[in-house]
Amino acid sequence: FKRFISPQFHGAFRKALRRTIKGEKITNLEMELVNKNGNISAEINTSPIIWNDRTIGAFVTVRDVTERKKTQEELNRQKTYFQALFESSPEAIASLDKNHHVIDVNRSFIKLFGYTLDELKGKNIDDFILPPDKEKEGKGGNDSAHNR
């Protein structure tokens, strides 16, 4: 089995097997494995095989998580990109939940309206940015825009 494990993970795999032989179950151990086409990302789980109160071996399962890791890396890249756009936009932007409660605001929003994120977070945006004479109109407009 060792030949399928990338050299930099030999020590971690040996340690996991030793722990398993001592009776410990190992879950979600990530490492690189080698197949005939190159390296893959894998998740390894081990369980001791116990007979007559003695560990006589180990059951090892391997799951290829290469695509999941690539997808997660892409999501992280996109999140970083959109967070940078959000933060650097000259336009005032507020991120809201479905009930119009503030999740986040950018620097331009803070500069324009004068409220910090701590003052707004979790509160209804309409309670802060609508003039009193426009509250009813504004709240109704948000409901119709949200339900489209």
**How confident is the model over 35-60, as pLDDT tens digits?**
888 889 999 999 999 999 999 999 99
Strand partners, 62: 44
Rounded CA separation 36/44 (Å): 19
Report the predicted TM-score, pTM, of the whole model to 2 decimal places.
0.58
Whole-number percent of the chain with pLDDT over 90: 71
- The token pair at 12 is 């971690």
- 49 phi, psi to nearest 5 deg: -100, 115
Strand partners, 44: 29, 62
Specify the DSSP element, H or E, that contains 27: strand 26-35
* The pairing of beta strand 38-51 with beta strand 54-64: antiparallel
pLDDT at 9 over 50: yes
pLDDT at 143 over 60: no
pLDDT of residue 2: 76
* Across 116-136, average pLDDT: 83
Rounded CA separation 57/63 (Å): 20
* The pairing of beta strand 38-51 with beta strand 102-105: unpaired
* Across 60-64, average pLDDT: 94
pLDDT at 26 over 60: yes
* Across 20-45, average pLDDT: 92
* Across 104-121, average pLDDT: 95
| Averaged pLDDT of the chain | 88
* Across 141-147, average pLDDT: 49
pLDDT of residue 141: 52
